């Protein structure tokens, strides 16, 4: 049997019937982008953005004395800085494959690049927020966690947020890419891996999105709510694999690695808990299509590419306004 000729690293399906449309891929939503305080850094300025918070004044509980001017109080501030980094990738292609392949490759490659971009940035942001230090466990500590999420554990998280005067999220970044906000029903927002979804649905008082009232619009990837928390899931919000004496307690009933429970972070967000900084706002992501054309380095115009690049930054603004609850997930 003669091998199918390969142009570059793509094989045309010349020996079989081509079925359209192409098989679909599973794409994840960018959940974390909706929850961050956004500062759009203009071009030609700097790679570092600074978020500034003026701290509350101490209470003035000492009575004033007649005719005596008090000393007054000088405000203090907290600065949180983040330095932007550039990310990107591309898919090379040849003039032959573009001219002979039956699939609409420019469209396919563009979609692949945009999926890669969204999941790359979401993962980078996840790695930032899961490094917060305000943390609790469904039982014990990380090395012994082997029980699922519970209403009691959620209340511990929300109590910790409220104790720090954290506010419900009442607006999120819109999905249209211009980083403007849109109002939502006020609540704390929690994000987790999809493996935790069934345990959330089993929590006392759980309300699925289909039972939301007419004044609450369910958002993409939203599971439902429990009390004043709305839950969202993504396969990108990965767990810490179980490891004896390090991560997860012994178990046979929870998702595990080698008999030790995988530990899943469930992160609760209050308003302005973390920030995101895109360069140039909605133009922060550039999709670049280079068609094969004659150049000094490619005199016959045989090579082209489809790629993307972006410059972004993410940072925790107030560690006490987010809470990481580490739980196990029922098999």
- Any domain includes 161: yes
- Please, what sign has the CA dihedral across residues 133, 134, 140, 144? negative
Q: Residue 99: helix, strand or coil by DSSP?
A: helix
What domain range includes position 114? 27-53+76-331
- Any domain includes 18: no
- Any domain includes 306: yes
- Any domain includes 128: yes
Read off the pLDDT of residues 253-312 as tens digits, 9 standing for 90 and up: 999 999 999 999 999 999 999 999 988 755 578 888 888 888 888 888 888 888 999 998
Please, which residues have CB within 8 angstroms of residue 137's CB and are 6 or more apart in sequence? 144, 145, 153, 325, 326, 327
- Any domain includes 62: no
Q: How confident is the model at residue 24 (pLDDT cuts 50, 70, 90)?
A: low
Which helix (H) or strand (E) is 112 found in, with range? helix 105-129
- Any domain includes 9: no
- Any domain includes 60: no
**Could you count the other beta carbons within 10 Å of the beta carbon of residue 227?**
15
Q: Residue 259: helix, strand or coil by DSSP?
A: coil
- Considering its fold, how many domains does the chain have in total? 1
On the question of pLDDT at 22 being above 60, the answer is no
**pTM reported for the whole predicted model:** 0.88
Read off the pLDDT of residues 164-220 as tens digits, 9 standing for 90 and up: 999 999 999 876 556 678 889 999 999 999 999 999 999 999 999 999 988 888 999
Cβ pair 83, 47 in contact under 8 A: yes
Q: 328 — phi, psi (to 5°)?
A: -100, 165
pLDDT, residue 161, reads 98
Q: Residue 60: helix, strand or coil by DSSP?
A: coil
- Any domain includes 22: no
């Amino acid at each position: 049997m003669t091998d199918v000729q390969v142009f570059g690293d793509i094989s045309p399906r010349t020996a079989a019937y081509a079925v359209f449309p192409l098989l679909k891929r599973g794409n994840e939503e960018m959940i974390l982008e909706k929850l961050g305080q956004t500062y759009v850094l203009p071009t030609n300025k700097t790679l570092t953005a600074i978020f500034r918070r003026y701290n509350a004044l101490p209470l003035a509980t000492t009575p004033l004395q007649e005719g005596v001017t008090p000393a007054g109080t000088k405000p203090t501030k907290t600065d949180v800085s983040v330095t932007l980094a550039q990310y990107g990738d591309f898919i090379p292609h040849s003039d032959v494959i573009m001219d002979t392949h039956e699939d609409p490759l420019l469209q396919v490659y563009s979609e692949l690049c945009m999926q890669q971009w969204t999941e790359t940035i979401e993962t980078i942001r996840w790695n930032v927020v899961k490094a917060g230090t305000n943390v609790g466990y469904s039982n014990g500590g990380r090395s012994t966690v082997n029980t699922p999420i519970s209403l009691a554990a959620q209340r511990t998280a929300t109590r910790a947020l409220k104790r720090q005067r954290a506010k419900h999220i009442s607006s999120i970044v819109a999905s249209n890419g211009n980083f403007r906000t849109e109002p939502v029903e006020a609540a704390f927002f929690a994000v987790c891996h999809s493996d935790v979804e069934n345990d959330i649905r089993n929590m006392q008082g759980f309300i699925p999105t289909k039972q939301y009232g007419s004044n609450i619009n369910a958002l993409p990837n939203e599971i439902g709510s429990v009390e004043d928390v709305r839950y969202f899931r993504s396969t990108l919000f990965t767990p810490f694999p179980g490891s004896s004496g390090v991560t997860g307690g012994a178990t046979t009933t929870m998702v595990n690695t080698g008999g030790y429970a995988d530990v899943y972070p469930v992160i609760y967000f209050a308003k302005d808990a973390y920030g995101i900084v895109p360069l140039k706002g909605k133009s922060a992501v550039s999709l670049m299509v280079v068609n094969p054309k004659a150049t000094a380095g490619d005199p016959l115009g045989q090579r082209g590419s489809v790629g993307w690049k972006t410059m972004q930054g993410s940072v925790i603004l107030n560690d006490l306004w987010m809470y990481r609850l580490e739980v196990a997930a029922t098999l």
